Amino acid sequence: MTHRVRFAPSPTGWLHLGNIRTAVINWMHAKQAGGAFVLRIDDTDLERSTEEFRLGIEEDMTWLGLTWDDYAKQSERFPEYDKARDGLIASGRLYPCYETGPELELMRKTASIQGKPFIYNRSAYPMSAEDEAKFKAEGREAHWRFALKPGEIKWDDLARGETSFMAENLSDPVLIRGDGSYLYTLCSVLDDIDLGMTDIIRGEDHTSNTATQIQLFQALVDQKGLSAFQMPRFAHMPLVSGADGSKLSKSNGALSIRDLRDEGGLEPLTIVAFLSRLGTPDGPQPVTDIGELAASFSIERFGRSGPRMDPEELAPLNGKIVRQLPFDAVSSRFEGMTPAQWDAIQPNLERLSDVSDWLSLIDGPISPEIEDSDFTAKAAALLPEGDLDGESWKTWTDAVKDATGAKGKSLFMPLRLALTGQPRGPEMAVLLPLIDREKIITRLKGSAA
Ligand code: GLU
């Protein structure tokens, strides 16, 4: 069975480091097996879903390199959901309930006071025609529940191992609201069938939903007569907490992808590399290509307890990644930069947004910092003749040392400060031949160039 997975965001907000992690894990799981990644927009909640959020999600995913092989939008599939609904009603698995919101709230509270989970008591199932007429006369609107069949529901979860629920301990899920609108469950399960999902990977907060969904899968598959259907594999990933160990939120780690992108300091690959290993004992890998992350990805590496997410770890990882990128991966972003210039500045980079600052050491203008102008004037006179190359720095500083007696830091630092205006930076031996000869002389004389 080829892997087909999906990421199913609701376009009701921006993607952040917490929810995009599910996309990263799904993407990696599909790609390591040569499978397909589907982006499914869960936009049945027409009131809260917006076009702006949908486009934003797609933009963020594209920026991160999480490309999709197939795409679906739930709002375009209402006729399919209607068909499924009608079939379930006809087979008696979907039944109308007439409790009002406050009545249900009271039932929930009562269960909670008794220290029990709320399990719908099926007071309305089956319902006599008389009762139904009475409720309707009261102006009540029916919402619709899916009737679970008693018995054990179990599956071998890729993340949690053997997982099982007794249907008797679960509440019949509501599939359709009083106003006739669909809840996520029916749409999601039908989509997972129709889109041929083989693996469903999501947060462990969905674990008990899966138990009810397995019965719904079965009911819908029977309805469609899909005799060759295979139940997808499920993986419920432990939830990530914030850097401080508490529930993940904006203030402790769930930074939005769009903000991270706009700040311009992090490579998208850094975010993906970080998230694809968070929760495994393997540290994040500083790779230069997203495919490398997929090739070595394994869902079995994830532990059973939820990791903490500390966005502070992103910057050092970004530095490692940037310092490995080949010239070809970055040249289009920095017009005019030569391979030699890239080689010179790369070891000093923490982020690509620093490239132009470092390049300015070569092309200038920089303001030299000079303490002893006699020393730098002598050095200027000793600069080797002809084209400068990788040996020139050594030849030059040997000559300056002989002429002035300066050595070590007091030999190198004044030259670095004069030539770059900074106490730290790329290796001078590499930098020197890249700076225009006239600029070198001008800087040694103390003028900006
Ligand atoms: N739209 C659902 C959510 O964001 C998808 C859950 C799922 O993966 O089934 O929770």
Q: How many angstroms separate the alpha carbon of residue 50 from the centre of ligand 1?
A: 17
Mean pLDDT estimate for the chain: 95
3-state secondary structure 327-392: HHHHHHHCCCCCHHHHHHHHHHCCCHHHHHHHHHHHHCCCCCCCCCHHHHHHHHHHCCCCCCCCCH
Pocket perturbation via mutation, ligand 1, pick of 74, 202, 208, 239 by most ligand atoms within 8 A of CB: 202
Q: Find the range with the poorest average confidence among 80-84, 253-257, 434-438.
A: 253-257
Is the bond into 311 cis (omega within 30 degrees of 0)?
no
pLDDT in tens, 187-221: 999 999 999 999 999 999 999 999 999 999 999 99
- Tell which CATH classification among 1.10.10, 2.160.20, 1.10.12, 3.30.1070 matches the domain 339-444: 1.10.10
CB 119 within 8 A of CB 171: yes
Q: What pLDDT does 244 receive?
A: 92
Tokens representing 73 are: 């939008």
CB-defined site of ligand 1, < 6 Å: 8-10, 42, 184, 188, 202, 206
Taking every pair of Cα atoms in the chain, the longest distance, rounded to a whole number of angstroms, is 111
State the pTM of this model.
Answer: 0.91
- Parse the chain into domains and list their residue ranges: 339-444
Atom of ligand 1 nearest to the CA of 200: 8
Question: Which tokens belong to 20?
Answer: 């995009």
Matching residue, tokens 């379930």: 88
Q: How far apart are CA 346 and CA 329, in angstroms?
A: 13
Q: Which of 37, 48, 188, 208 to mutate to test the pocket of ligand 1 (most atoms within 8 A of CB)?
A: 188
> Which secondary structure element, helix H or strand E, spans residue 319, and what is its range?
helix 314-322
Query: Which amino acid makes up residue 387?
Result: D
pLDDT of residue 1: 58
Encode pLDDT of 257-289 as tens digits. Answer: 999 999 989 999 999 999 999 999 999 999 999
Q: What distance in Å separates the CA atoms of residue 43 and residue 53, rounded to the nearest whole number? A: 10
Closest CA to 81 of 181, 168, 173, 160: 181
Q: Please, which pLDDT band fits residue 363 given cuts at 50, 70 and 90?
A: very high
pLDDT band at 250 (very low <50, low <70, confident <90, very high): confident
pLDDT at 6 over 90: yes
Please give the structure tokens belonging to residue 303. 């532990």
